[in-house]
Structure 1
Amino acid sequence: MTPLPLAALAQPAPSDRPVRVVVPLAAGSTVDAVARAIAPGLGRATGHPIVVENVVGAGGIPGTTQVVKAARDGLTLGMISSNHVINPGIYKSIPYDTLRDITPIAVLATVPLVLVVNPKLPVKNVAELLAYAKAHPGTLNYGSAGNGSTLHLAGELMIAETGIDMRHVPYRGTGPLVTDLMGGQVQLGFVSISQVAPQIKAGGLRALALSTPTRSPALPDVPTMAQAGAPRYSFDAWIALVGPAGLPKATVDGYAAAVKTAMDSPEARAAIAGQGLMVLDKGPDTAPAFFQSELAKHQALVKQSGATLD
């Protein structure tokens, strides 16, 4: 394969220099899994070795800071998630501008969330859940992976769209949340499909609906929230590839083409299926507008939730 033209940079980079892809989340996360799955294909397409590096902490801010402060030589990129547009509302200050200090390259995939309930809750679908919540206001607890997390905001959107009254219970990560969902300490929550598919299959949790506008092949029998009784509900978590602000257009276009090639690799297809993701095809022409709209939507939800982390 002929490498794509990434060397049209301010200072052309030798092809033996590695490209560093910073993942501002923990190893083993969905974002990390996608980054590592596309790395081989990205390397083949660009002719550069690809090194995935996890820089964790503070909702992804330290890792993203390294990306936005990197040289504009195309050798440092970031694989970010919806946290990027949530953080400005839940932290008093962050050391970069969410929109101005990045160059969007591609929005790779959306992460469908599934609304699950403890099977002891006497509801079998969203309509029954809404009826139960309205008959028992303030008695339902919904869990999340933490204040201001995508799982928290997915629940807040449900409250906003349906008018029900639920209490939020934040956990320190998805693992403890799933444990307490199965134990009945919290009755419901939105969780990524990959985190609860085994529990759903085994009957430990009941799946009611998906957060996304379309159904997922990973759970083909589970309707969307819109189909199940909340017609205006739509919430997508997502994964995107970005660079520091000011990347040359030739570099951005080269990476966008390389990502498309890499996403079609066997490694990427397997990771996408395994994580229950759905591919998005938003390149450098449409990604900036997507980021702007997602920032506005998530900031409104953060304000409604009152979430803050410092």
Structure 2
Amino acid sequence: MPLDRRRLLAAATTTLLAPAAARAQAPAGWRPSRPIRAIVPFAAGGPTDLLTRMLAEPVGAALGQPLVVENRTGAGGAIGAELVAKAPPDGHTILVHDSAHAVAPALVARLPFDPVTDFSGIGVLVFAPLVLSVNPRVPARSLDELLALLRANPGRFNMATSGVGGPVHIAAEILRTAANVQMEMVHYRGGAPAATAIVGGEAQMTILSIAASLEFIRAGTMRPIVLTVRERHPLLPDVPTSAEAGLPNFFYENWRAALAPAATPPAALAALSAAFQAGLRQIEPRLREVAEQPRPGFDTSAAVMAFIRREMENYTAVLRAAGVRPE
């Protein structure tokens, strides 16, 4: 089991065993009248699923009703998102999704929902930095050295991605534009196969989350080059940020958000947001272990949806420039 899944599963188990005194207190105002369905549009055991399960106990305790996680997979998350978009807007069905929610319009020509207008925001829950790493046989130990190598050998080095339109692909396209370099994109079915390709020498570079990369970096089978965010991370304190390495426009981070159907009453959104924020505070020490961090300022519906709209526009522009068209 990959490192991020092991740690998140352990953290989820610890959270479920937390004493009642440490659990979030119920917010005032709206209260659910029955269990809340939390739709995760990915398979069980992935990072979005495990985050939701970690939060289920404290959020349910805060609201006075269980938060029941349901995995509705398929179409890159669109099946689960459509279910929530068309659910009654009463606060009892929510979606926990990642940045793929904002990527969907760039990939799917006829989405059965609008990622912005068909949803109301509960909160952007966590942000996850990525790290650009190479196979240790690549003769580059810094971003400058890697970019010089790419420019001297245009198109001869492979970038292993987790799939078309996934976080690695988007980050790689941002790198290609920001640094004006060429590399071959090799799309795998997820981050784990991409990591395996790097370790085995099938590809030379990838840009995975810290959690997905850390065990390989510690084992010496991946060499970290640069972080894709503004600040260094305590799990990789010696790895510079892209700005420190001289390429500040190479910025990308994955995120996970909770959403409700459009027209959900403001009182329900406020209560749900308060419960999720309380839950995040409870599990934050464990989130640090897998390099996923909450950030203030994304806990009102307007702020969440404005953020997703910006992300959707940015991702669409990046993928259009790369020649990706919706199908």
In the alignment, structure 1 residue 233 sits paired with structure 2 residue 222:
no
Alpha-carbon separation, structure 1, partners of 2:285 and 2:40: 19
Q: Is the 8 A contact 1:117 1:181 kept in 2?
A: yes
Alpha-carbon separation, structure 2, partners of 1:191 and 1:309: 24
Secondary structure of the equivalent of 1:22? strand
Q: Is the 8 A contact 2:40 2:95 kept in 1?
A: yes
Alpha-carbon separation, structure 2, partners of 1:38 and 1:4: 16
Given candidates 277, 282, 292, the residue that maps to 1:277 is 292
Alpha-carbon offset, residue 145 of structure 1: 0.7
Give aligned-pair identity as a percent: 34
Q: Is the 8 A contact 1:113 1:236 kept in 2?
A: yes
Alpha-carbon separation, structure 2, partners of 1:213 and 1:27: 31
Secondary structure of the equivalent of 1:32? helix
Q: Deviations 1:197-228 (Å, cap 9, x if unpaired)?
A: 11100100001111112222222221111211
Letter in 2 for 1:276: A
Q: Is the 8 A contact 1:113 1:211 kept in 2?
A: yes
Alpha-carbon separation, structure 2, partners of 1:3 and 1:283: 17
Q: Is the 8 A contact 2:55 2:280 kept in 1?
A: yes
Given candidates 129, 132, 135, the residue that maps to 1:115 is 132
In the alignment, structure 1 residue 59 sits paired with structure 2 residue 59:
no
Alpha-carbon offset, residue 31 of structure 1: 1.1
Q: Is the 8 A contact 2:106 2:326 kept in 1?
A: no
Partner of 1:168: 185
Partner of 1:4: 27
Partner of 1:71: 88
Letter in 2 for 1:123: A
In the alignment, structure 1 residue 261 sits paired with structure 2 residue 291:
no
Letter in 2 for 1:22: I
Gaps of 5+ in 2: 1-23
Given candidates 95, 104, 108, the residue that maps to 1:91 is 108
Change (3 A) 1:2 1:32: closer
Aligned length, in residue pairs: 302
RMSD over aligned Cα, in angstroms?
1.5
Alpha-carbon offset, residue 268 of structure 1: 4.9
Q: Deviations 1:231-250 (Å, cap 9, x if unpaired)?
A: 22211111101000001111
Alpha-carbon offset, residue 309 of structure 1: 6.7
Alpha-carbon separation, structure 1, partners of 2:255 and 2:121: 13
Secondary structure of the equivalent of 1:175? helix
Letter in 2 for 1:280: R
Letter in 2 for 1:172: R
Letter in 2 for 1:55: R
1:150-189 correspondence to structure 2 within 5 Å: 150-189=167-206
TM-score (norm 2): 0.89
TM-score (norm 1): 0.93
Partner of 2:217: 200
Given candidates 138, 142, 148, the residue that maps to 2:159 is 142
Alpha-carbon separation, structure 1, partners of 2:83 and 2:192: 28
Partner of 1:46: 63
